[in-house]
A and B are shown apart, each in its own frame.
Chain A
């Protein structure tokens, strides 16, 4: 194993990161992301872990509570990573590393050592470390065994997420992948919320779950953190086994040749569904819209997000009222707003990030850059709007409360508000928070910090704002005042069209910077 060369590559990863700070915007971004966000978050999460460790000792059940907390963190990290794509982006691909004199094992180690130091994984490391310090500080942990437990758990957590993402990526290569992968991701997201209430109701089921979890890495790490006897040794063995199994599985998957599409000579079709759908727009925009439709609907990542959002509303309507004590209708208002942008959100906030050198082509067309931005946005709005009637149908079939026409209007109004508001914000984010993204990657998160804040913050805002309104301004979310959504939707529409107008001019002024970004020169 050539550790010197691997070390050089890891240093290169940081040199590349440091190189971004040479520009003024790079320095600001590093300051914002590194010092204002990451550092306080790391400290906060360490304190959170410390608090959990403290509570575990005080309650006198250090081992069980540590195991429970670690399992929760482990699952959260894995699911968040797979669903939102955090911590999955490869800094160097295997193909890129082949140019160096490295064997497969060395390339594997280099890739994953540069991947595991992603800020996302460091946040979870902070939680694990905080817990370990909390346990040690109150006399329940060993100074020598805890670091071993933290490192082993941290590595296995990262490997599990990588393995899950790699499996899903392979599934996406199959024809049925576009349907299977969203279902699997949905299953991953929903299993904890479906299992938890059952376990709470049934203590025997809890014992069964614990019996299974005894063989998991977090349970082993919990024992290793809190015990010094044979159980600790078992915990150590368990964690080492998990790391080895996950590494073996990942190596097996990565060395397995990828399926390549069998070449099929197709007859040229001139009048495709894309062209027919785009013909609804004016002749100026129709070819552009058809082009964007082809571009988006052939993208695996787009298809996953889009197909996942179709059952989103019915499933959230089914799950949420069973987990929360609020009015299910009020919760549904927020869910409908999410349905308005979730299908296309990741692309709406970074419309040019995926086109690569295609952006240059748009600038050469006689239509002008503003028409390109508009047509892309129209395409995304049109595709997102298809999900709204399907969501209403979901509400009709699964609504946990008796519904009337006013409620339907309010739900639709919230969907339309979400649709226009977030696609309007997406236009601004496209210009000011753009980031070069990998069109062909199925998993991972290529969005900028601003893009992630808009997307994730938007979803959380939609989930919590209606409930906040219910507590503070209840009439606003009551079906009697159904008309409230009309001005909200109109305002969102006005914001969207004003944004379209404004951003067109800004795009012309910013096109050189965006050109450099899309072609990887900045």
Chain B
């Protein structure tokens, strides 16, 4: 029987009097691409922050790969790859220097480091060695951050908005890698606002609403198999109408626009 790759139990994160995540419980099976969706400010990045050790939860428990996780659990961090929302790059470094640094920090030996850095740079078309990361375009920087997340072959991959700003060819390559990644039993946990991509790529999706409250979790392959998902007495033929139904569709007319 497959264990859960990620298990969140009654997670709460507060900033002073503001609640960013409220009583969130979630299970993510191993070997799938899991989409974590929600409107802006609903607590997606805060949840990923808690899952990756950037933030301390106010309450609740997190288990990753069957182990209790906290920010100090270096052994578990070695088995995780993270592409944060703000990318976390060192601007004055060249791409190969940055990737080699990350690889060494995750314990790769020198031979493996050099081989993987070279292969990643070539595959992601980052071979222009005349520019530092600060001189790269947003899309190129995103590719570097993606490469840094996967370079040590993690067992669980957290990707915060991975496809935004990347050109279609880059997105197609990343999707291909992610599918291969999960075929080997590894897990991807991603957030995105591009619902079409999520619908096609992910097997399961969780939708949260402000403040970090789970409003729906389910198998989105149903759309492909059965053509629609039934919820709340209605049928939804795609993820977008379901998302809008759950998080509240907005209508505002600006006469001057």
Size category, A interface: 35 or more
Give chain B residues whose Cβ lies under 8 Å from the Cβ of A519: 86
Verify A367–B74 contact, CB threshold 8 A: yes
Verify B89–A361 contact, CB threshold 8 A: yes
- Quick one: which of B109-157 are within 8 Å of A by CB? 110, 114, 118, 128-131, 134, 148
Q: Give the segment of A175-183, A199-207, A259-267, A342-350 that binds chain B.
A: A259-267
Verify A366–B106 contact, CB threshold 8 A: yes
Give chain B residues whose Cβ lies under 8 Å from the Cβ of A368: 72, 74
Q: Name B79's closest neighbour in chain A (CB-CB).
A: A366
Verify A356–B84 contact, CB threshold 8 A: no
Q: Name A516's closest neighbour in chain B (CB-CB).
A: B15
Q: How far is the CA of A288 from the CA of B100 in the complex (A)?
A: 11
Verify B130–A364 contact, CB threshold 8 A: no
Q: Report which of A268, A287, A369 forms a contact with B105, defined as CB distance below 8 A.
A: A287
- B214 CB, nearest partner CB in chain A, Å: 23
Q: Give the segment of A98-106, A186-194, A294-302, A464-472 that binds chain B.
A: A294-302
Q: How far is the CA of A440 from the CA of B97 in the complex (A)?
A: 19
Give chain A residues whose Cβ lies under 8 Å from the Cβ of B134: 440
A481 interfacial by beta-carbon distance below 8 Å: no
Q: Name A260's closest neighbour in chain B (CB-CB).
A: B135
Verify B77–A364 contact, CB threshold 8 A: yes
Q: Report which of B54, B72, B89, B104 forms a contact with A358, defined as CB distance below 8 A.
A: B89
- Quick one: which of A437-473 are within 8 Å of B by CB? 439-440
Verify B91–A294 contact, CB threshold 8 A: no
Q: How far is the CA of A280 from the CA of B171 in the complex (A)?
A: 41
Size category, B interface: 35 or more
Verify B100–A270 contact, CB threshold 8 A: yes
Q: How far is the CA of A361 from the CA of B99 in the complex (A)?
A: 12
Q: Name B129's closest neighbour in chain A (CB-CB).
A: A266
B233 interfacial by beta-carbon distance below 8 Å: no
Give chain A residues whose Cβ lies under 8 Å from the Cβ of B129: 265-268
A94 interfacial by beta-carbon distance below 8 Å: no
Verify B93–A363 contact, CB threshold 8 A: no
B78 interfacial by beta-carbon distance below 8 Å: yes
Give chain A residues whose Cβ lies under 8 Å from the Cβ of B118: 268
A403 interfacial by beta-carbon distance below 8 Å: no
Q: How far is the CA of A298 from the CA of B92 in the complex (A)?
A: 7
- Quick one: which of A332-386 are within 8 Å of B by CB? 355-361, 363-369
Q: How far is the CA of A427 from the CA of B114 in the complex (A)?
A: 34
Q: How far is the CA of A519 from the CA of B55 in the complex (A)?
A: 14
Q: Report which of B87, B88, B89, B93 forms a contact with A294, defined as CB distance below 8 A.
A: B93
**A16-55 CB contact bits vs B (8 Å, 1 = yes)?**
0000000000000000000000000000000000000000
Verify B54–A364 contact, CB threshold 8 A: yes
- Quick one: which of B50-106 are within 8 Å of A by CB? 52-56, 71-72, 74-75, 77-78, 82, 84, 86-94, 96-97, 100-102, 104-106
Give chain A residues whose Cβ lies under 8 Å from the Cβ of B130: 263-266
A290 interfacial by beta-carbon distance below 8 Å: yes
Give chain B residues whose Cβ lies under 8 Å from the Cβ of A270: 100, 110, 114
Give chain A residues whose Cβ lies under 8 Å from the Cβ of B74: 366-368
Verify B90–A291 contact, CB threshold 8 A: yes
Number of A-B contacts (CB under 8 A): 93
**Chain B facing A: main interface SS:** loop
Verify B114–A358 contact, CB threshold 8 A: no
Give chain A residues whose Cβ lies under 8 Å from the Cβ of B77: 364-366
- A93 CB, nearest partner CB in chain B, Å: 15
Verify A360–B92 contact, CB threshold 8 A: no
Q: Name A364's closest neighbour in chain B (CB-CB).
A: B82
Give chain B residues whose Cβ lies under 8 Å from the Cβ of A264: 130
Give chain B residues whose Cβ lies under 8 Å from the Cβ of A294: 90, 92-93, 97
A474 interfacial by beta-carbon distance below 8 Å: no
Given contacts A364-B52, A366-B77, A357 and B88 within 8 Å (CB-CB): yes
Verify A291–B101 contact, CB threshold 8 A: yes
Verify B106–A263 contact, CB threshold 8 A: no
Q: How far is the CA of A375 from the CA of B89 in the complex (A)?
A: 18
Q: Report which of B56, B91, B102 forms a contact with A512, defined as CB distance below 8 A.
A: B56
Verify A295–B93 contact, CB threshold 8 A: yes
Give chain A residues whose Cβ lies under 8 Å from the Cβ of B71: 363, 369, 508, 511
Give chain B residues whose Cβ lies under 8 Å from the Cβ of A295: 90, 92-93
A515 interfacial by beta-carbon distance below 8 Å: yes
Q: How far is the CA of A496 from the CA of B129 in the complex (A)?
A: 39
Verify A366–B88 contact, CB threshold 8 A: no
Given contacts A264-B130, A294-B93, A364-B77, A357 and B86 within 8 Å (CB-CB): yes
Verify A361–B106 contact, CB threshold 8 A: no
Q: How far is the CA of A439 from the CA of B132 in the complex (A)?
A: 14
Verify B84–A360 contact, CB threshold 8 A: yes
- B106 CB, nearest partner CB in chain A, Å: 6
- B103 CB, nearest partner CB in chain A, Å: 9
Q: Report which of A263, A358, A440, A515 forms a contact with B90, defined as CB distance below 8 A.
A: A358
Q: How far is the CA of A359 from the CA of B89 in the complex (A)?
A: 9
Most A CB contacts (10 A, CB to CB) among B74, B105, B110 go to: B105
- A297 CB, nearest partner CB in chain B, Å: 9
Verify A366–B89 contact, CB threshold 8 A: no
22 contacts between A and B (CB under 8 A): A288-B105, A290-B101, A294-B90, A294-B92, A294-B93, A295-B90, A299-B92, A357-B86, A357-B87, A357-B89, A360-B86, A360-B88, A361-B88, A363-B53, A364-B52, A364-B53, A364-B88, A366-B107, A439-B91, A508-B72, A511-B71, A512-B54
Query: Nearest 6 pairs between A and B by C-beta?
Result: A361-B88, A360-B88, A263-B130, A287-B104, A357-B86, A366-B77
Using CB atoms and an 8 Å cutoff, list the residues of chain A in contact with chain B.
263-268, 270, 287-288, 290-291, 294-295, 298-299, 355-361, 363-369, 439-440, 508, 511-512, 515, 519
Given A298-B92, A439-B91, A508-B71, list of 14 further CB < 8 A pairs?
A265-B129, A270-B114, A287-B104, A294-B90, A294-B97, A355-B90, A358-B91, A360-B86, A360-B88, A364-B84, A366-B107, A367-B105, A512-B54, A512-B56
